[in-house]
Structure 1
């Protein structure tokens, strides 16, 4: 039994998402479990080197998790042949340049989304990787959430019959930063720094809808900047120049209609921060991050509109929970394990940089729809 050590340059992991999901809950967790186990008894052991601009943060993070390698010099890390993978979770505006440098050095690419600031930039990365022959992947974390895995199980089983519509509600109140610190970085609300909920969330909605229900064919989107002034991490007020809410409708292949609200200016009165309701001719389902519940055609109550009497129905009690039927690991970790297997033993990994470009495409078209106040078709995207 052999151990396959894989050096990974992890650029941008001092940020919230990079630290928690990619480093601690994925790479460190994989190392603690003894690596990724392969069918022949071999293991894959990730060997990360933490890269960033602030030496004190990198050193503290490495020491906290018993890691020996960190650096503020990306080029030196790229020149080291033991580092086979380049991972990027920097701010979006910095990503494309670093990924290009990694591709030019022959590194395999795994990165967060959006993969670029524009569709042209994201497509260029996909084409460069294809021309260089390097393997590549983009984080599609929501596909591995327990609630969405249960929902996919229902779709694959034909539970819904003909799917008619999907309603997605995502968001929560992000504090403005004056009387309570905000839960998200201030750059999220500055367009000039790559912020905005359309750029952030439409990349997610693209792969969720494409993989669960069918390809997106058209989009209509209205964006808003509901909170025009916020306070940053240093206590300074700034103008919020990016959208903090988006109200969209998507048309999918087969005529499925999707309504998707995304907002950082909404107070939650639902069962989860993300809920997806699917209605079909044979049944319906509502999925959150971890849970999923159903109502079959035969169990649907015969509701009657009558506002003159108290509501006689307890609607939410009429749904049944979909059982787990399996153990669910952290979604980021699961996808990291799949990508590491893709690198070492060439197992399939369908979520490459082209899929990332599709997410950027939807963001661009959503912004265009908002500017022009009209429906926009979503053309097929190829290299």
Structure 2
């Protein structure tokens, strides 16, 4: 209202793997999107043997820590921008590791959630399931991956890579637990090529903001978009506390 140009960082949208995923969506590759499954996380050491890879305040709720507060705002804008507005959220959080060691080697009680398991209903009917954890050992190609399944095709996108399987190339596996499978499922997917050099995500968005400030070019990543992410994190924590699915109101001025 005051005419001040403002914005928030949504850097994950500008990563190579997610740019490829957007390209597929805009090209109609998926047909109707049915579901999105996300896996994010890695093992953050407790700090007693090996140093923790994250600061100790991340694990203290009283200091603003917690993986929901950290990651749900990212999931909100990724889902919103790529697939549609989040309409409902149901989340279960856990503090799996209750004792950690800080930067000075002193033990402390971990009071913040270090893992969150979320289900998000999206506008249009698609369902997203995203697991976020600092207590998981990685058995995937990247620290975060999203599998998108649609009527015409599927994709698995990470930070940098994106692999696809079209309906016409989808194999026909048969369930038989008594025989070893001859299928090599990963080999049946096709890599999406790069379509040119990709800048650092923060740099790419910063340049867009400067063009907005100087040339008044379009800009949609404003403080209202940031508020949507904060709202989803708050609703995720409330959903866990109340043990129920919650509607996500549309954020407006």
Match runs of 1:278-357 below 5 Å: 278-357=148-227
Distance (Å, rounded) in 1 between the aligned partners of 2:195 and 2:19? 11
| Structure with more of its chain in helix, by fraction | 1
Aligned to 1:266: 136
Aligned to 1:240: 110
Distance (Å, rounded) in 2 between the aligned partners of 1:255 and 1:336? 33
Aligned to 1:364: 234
Distance (Å, rounded) in 1 between the aligned partners of 2:3 and 2:83? 31
Residue 250 (str. 1) matches residue 120 (str. 2): yes
Corresponding residue SS for 1:138: coil
Aligned to 1:380: 250
Cα deviation code 1:256-277 (max 9, x no counterpart): 0101000000000011100000
How far did residue 348 of structure 1 move? Answer: 1.4
Distance (Å, rounded) in 1 between the aligned partners of 2:143 and 2:237? 23
Aligned to 1:231: 101
Q: Indicate the RMSD between aligned Cα atoms, in angstroms.
A: 0.7
Distance (Å, rounded) in 2 between the aligned partners of 1:309 and 1:265? 33
Corresponding residue SS for 2:70: helix
Distance (Å, rounded) in 2 between the aligned partners of 1:198 and 1:182? 19
Distance (Å, rounded) in 2 between the aligned partners of 1:137 and 1:349? 8
Distance (Å, rounded) in 1 between the aligned partners of 2:212 and 2:195? 26
Q: Runs in 1 of length 4+ with deviation above 6 angstroms? A: none
Aligned to 1:147: 17
How many residues are paired up? Answer: 253
Distance (Å, rounded) in 1 between the aligned partners of 2:219 and 2:45? 38
How far did residue 326 of structure 1 move? Answer: 1.4
Distance (Å, rounded) in 1 between the aligned partners of 2:220 and 2:159? 23
Distance (Å, rounded) in 2 between the aligned partners of 1:335 and 1:187? 28
Aligned to 2:63: 193
Specify the structure having the higher radius of gyration (Cα). 1
How far did residue 254 of structure 1 move? Answer: 1.0
Aligned to 1:76: none
Distance (Å, rounded) in 2 between the aligned partners of 1:276 and 1:325? 20
Corresponding residue SS for 1:195: coil
Distance (Å, rounded) in 1 between the aligned partners of 2:215 and 2:35? 40
Corresponding residue SS for 1:136: coil
Distance (Å, rounded) in 2 between the aligned partners of 1:351 and 1:325? 24
Distance (Å, rounded) in 1 between the aligned partners of 2:110 and 2:241? 18
How far did residue 159 of structure 1 move? Answer: 0.4
Corresponding residue SS for 2:19: helix
Distance (Å, rounded) in 2 between the aligned partners of 1:299 and 1:202? 34
How far did residue 133 of structure 1 move? Answer: 2.3
Of structures 1 and 2, the one with the larger relative CO (CA 8 A, separation 6+) is 2
Cα deviation code 1:68-118 (max 9, x no counterpart): xxxxxxxxxxxxxxxxxxxxxxxxxxxxxxxxxxxxxxxxxxxxxxxxxxx
